[in-house]
Amino acid sequence: MANKPCEYCQKNGCHGECENYILEMAMAGTKIDGFERLFREIPKFNYVLNEKINSIFGTDLEVASNSDVQSDLTNQFNQFLYATNENGNTNLYEIKKAIKHKEIFGESYLFFDNINVYALTKDEVEAYSADETNPIIDAIQYYTVGTCEVPDVLQVDSNGFIKQDTGYIIFPSNMIKFKSDEYVLNSDLKQLQILLEINRKIYDSTTKRDYGDLFLFTDTPQVNMISAVAQRVKDSVNTAIEKMRERVAELIKRNKVDDSNVVVLDETYKDVKQIAPITKVTDYQFIWEHQDEILSSVFNFPMLLAGLGDDAGNVSKSALLQDARANTLTPIKSDTANSLSVIARKLFGEQYYLRFQDYPDELIQS
């Protein structure tokens, strides 16, 4: 599938990216890097994503047992969060990175080597079930990362993983899986595509001066009608005239502004008609003004919590804030703490788990 040419541009590995068909990219199995490049073009995409992650970690994690906070162990866990792994990243950074991938792609992993954690995307991990024939229970026997040689009889290593020269065999006890059915690529992708297309159109109109089409009329009959924008007009003339025109154009463009399109035509053309674009950049104002709502819908994260929209500036928003936290943040924070409790049990014992602190009363009522 990866080598199949794109039906729109015929390039291998494109999968419709040239036309922004995000849904087709998802169905074609486009790699994560391809989507990440695309999402960087959407204003506020990464802002809303970061705000969602920061809101999850807006209160500190604490270690508890039987509903009682263990202060000493919480301090130890905080030291773990800000310790650095062999990649030079803090464990908190790796945790947030894994959750970000889950929010976009629906699934991610966190490998715990009993000292530090490492974020892994679903593209990097292969899962192997203990019983491939079971139609209901998907009991994972082990995961592999990289290129591994798996022996016929696999014994659980005391470390919870087996390190090889080119890969890892990791047992479920040392792999944390983040998974959700509420993620970007499982949302309204058409809205996201429209937002991406319109932002590209606005960019072209504001930086490349979208003058519309130029129709060129000649004295002699032409086999094909010539309809071109400035760049295509320049490419249509012969090499000698092109060099002459570029020289003249450089003299005209004394300000050296890249987007000041200058077209110099030779005597072949007796008349030029300019047709303005049918759709002007101002026609996209509605989508531009409502892009915050689109992104909030795609991320399933209220604009209020992301600091967007009219409600974000409302000084008397305590009821809205409490409602948003209760319906959105609390479930996400609980799922995150439950998943990360594997680390607490590994570090301190089976009776311990993690939970997020509550918001202070004065913050809730602000």
86-104: per-residue pLDDT in tens? Answer: 999 999 999 999 999 999 9
pLDDT value, residue 21: 73
The whole-chain average pLDDT of the chain stands at 80
46: Cβ contacts below 8 Å, ≥ 6 apart: 39, 40
146-179: per-residue pLDDT in tens? Answer: 999 888 888 777 889 999 999 999 999 999 999 9
CA distances from 195 to 22, 246, 282, 312 (A): 11, 37, 15, 22
Of these ranges, 6-10, 43-47, 174-178, 244-248, the one predicted with the greatest mean pLDDT is 174-178
Confidence check: pLDDT of 33 > 90:
no
**How far is it, in rounded angstroms, from Cα 52 to Cα 95?**
14
Q: Using the 8-state DSSP alphabet, how is residue 68 labeled? A: E
pLDDT value, residue 321: 77
- Is the distance from CB of 28 to CB of 323 less than 8 angstroms? no
pLDDT value, residue 136: 80
Confidence check: pLDDT of 143 > 80:
yes
Beta strand residue intervals within 166-250, DSSP E: 167-170, 175-179, 213-218, 227-228
Task: Please compute the mean of the pLDDT values over residues 62-77 and round it to a whole number.
Answer: 96
Sign of CA dihedral 55, 59, 63, 67: negative
194-245: per-residue pLDDT in tens? Answer: 888 888 888 777 766 666 666 767 666 655 554 555 545 545 545 545 665 6
Give the position of tokens 């959700």.
180
Q: Quick one: what percent of the chain has pLDDT higher than 70? A: 73
State both tokens at 123. 């593209």
Q: Which is nearest to 58 in space by CA: 318, 332, 311?
A: 332
Q: Please report which confidence band the pLDDT of residue 314 belongs to, taking 50, 70 and 90 as the band edges.
A: low
Q: Using the 8-state DSSP alphabet, how is residue 157 labeled? A: P
Of these ranges, 85-99, 172-186, 270-284, the one predicted with the greatest mean pLDDT is 85-99
**How far is it, in rounded angstroms, from Cα 101 to Cα 300?**
15
Q: What are phi and psi of 109, to 5 degrees?
A: -135, 160
Task: Please compute the mean of the pLDDT values over residues 42-70 and round it to a whole number.
Answer: 93
290: Cβ contacts below 8 Å, ≥ 6 apart: none
pLDDT value, residue 137: 77
Q: Which of 68-77, 135-144, 159-168, 280-289 has the lowest mean pLDDT?
A: 280-289
Of 312 and 295, the structure prediction assigns the larger pLDDT to 295
Residues linked to residue 110 through DSSP beta bridges, in sequence order: 119, 176
pTM for the full model?
0.76
State both tokens at 53. 């992650």
pLDDT value, residue 336: 95
Residues linked to residue 61 through DSSP beta bridges, in sequence order: 356
Give SS3 for 217. strand
Give SS3 for 62. strand
Burial class of 195 by CB neighbour count within 10 A (0 to 12, 13 to 18, 19+) = buried
pLDDT value, residue 365: 44
- Is the distance from CB of 150 to CB of 141 less than 8 angstroms? no
**How far is it, in rounded angstroms, from Cα 316 to Cα 349?**
44
Name the amino acid, one letter, at 279. Answer: T
What is the radius of gyration, based on Cα positions, of the chain? 28
pLDDT value, residue 214: 67
Q: What are phi and psi of 227, to 5 degrees?
A: -135, 115
108-128: per-residue pLDDT in tens? Answer: 999 999 999 999 999 999 999
Q: Which is nearest to 195 in space by CA: 284, 283, 282?
A: 284
Q: Please report which confidence band the pLDDT of residue 1 belongs to, taking 50, 70 and 90 as the band edges.
A: very low
Strand 167-170 and strand 175-179: pairing?
A: unpaired
332-365: per-residue pLDDT in tens? Answer: 999 999 999 999 999 999 999 999 998 775 444 4
Of 191 and 2, the structure prediction assigns the larger pLDDT to 191
Q: Quick one: what percent of the chain has pLDDT higher than 90? A: 38
